[in-house]
Amino acid sequence: MDVEESLKYWRDAGHVARRTLEAMKLELQPGKTYHEIIESAERFIHRHGGKPAFPATIHSNDLAAHFTTNHLVQGPDGWEGDMVLQKGDCVKIDYGVHIKGHIGDNALTFEVGNTNNHTEQIKAAKEARDAAIEVMHPGTPWYKVGAAAAQPSLDAGFQPIRNLCGHQLKPWQLHSGVSIPSYACGPDNRGFKGVVEEGGVYAVEPFNTTGKSGLIENIGSPHSSNIYRVTGATTSRKARAKGQLKPLGAQLARNLEERYSTLPFAERWAFPMLEKPFPEADEASLQSKWNALVKKLISIRFLETYHALRCIDGGNICQFEHTVYIAEGGAEILTVE
C-alpha cells in the first residue's frame, strides 16, 4: 500500500471517529445509561463504514479511562448504584475507529445538564490538547510537547495527569512504541526521548484533574476494564502445536485472532462465541468456561487485559483527544468532521 492510499484510510477513519464523537455528545443526557451510549456509538461506527478500533468507553467524574460494559452490563469494581448519567456529571467519551487497520482515536469531555460546574477545567483540557498539537512539527522534542500540553491546565489551576500518555499509531497497532507526555517531563526523562517524526500518526490526549497528585490508579482486578487484546506474542496455531491449548481452546483463540487481530476487544463482543460449542450451558457455566479460557490465554501470553483507571485521590478528570498526521509543515488533524 502506498503512502497516499494509506493516508486516505487514516483520514477516513479519523472522519468517522469524529462524527461518532459529535453524534454521541448529543446523547449525554440525564437518565441515559452508560450501556445505551456505548452500544449506540458502536452501531454508529458500523453504520458509517468503520469498525471499532477498541470498545467504546465512557467515564464519569474521577473515572479516567479503560472502562466498557460487559455482557452482564455491570459497573466498574466498587461502583455503587446504576450506571446512569446524572445532571452535573463530568463525562469523558473515547472512541476509536479503524478502516483496514488504520485508526482514528478521539475523545472529549462533556458536562451533563450544562450545570457549569466544570467549565473551566473542560476548557483547560481542550486547550491542552490544542497547545500540544500546535508545537508538533517534525523534529520537536517530546518533552516540549509535554510542556506545551501541561501549561493550559496549570494556568487554570488544575494538575496534568502524569501517568497517562498519548501514543503513536500504526496499522493494527493502537499503542505502537512512542508515548506522548502531557506534563513538563523535562529533557532528561528516559521515558520520553526522541522527537516528533515526519510521517508519524499520533493520538494526542492530555488529561487533567482537580486532584493534587496528578496521578491515576488501577481499579479492582486486572479484568476490570472488560477489555482484552491479542498480544501477537504467540498464535493459536503455535499454542496448539506446543500442546498449550486443546482443540476447542485453539479454535476459540483463532476466532479472536480472525475477528480482532491485535486491536482491543470487549468481553461482551467475544463472550457469545461460547454459546455455539456449549448450547445447553447456563450463565454460571458459561461464565466459568470464559474465566478459564481467559486465564489460560493470558498465561501463555496470547491475551492481555486492562485495568479500568481512576484518579488516585478522587479528583475530577477531564480529557480531550485528536489523532494527527505529521506532515512537513506540522500536524494535520485527522479526527475532523
Question: Residue 87 — φ and ψ, nearest 5°?
Answer: -55, 130
Residues labelled as active-site residues = 94, 105, 167, 175, 205, 321
Which amino acid is located at 149 in the chain? A
CA angle, corner 225, sides to 224 and 229, nearest 5? 115
| Contact by Cβ (8 Å): 109, 90 | yes
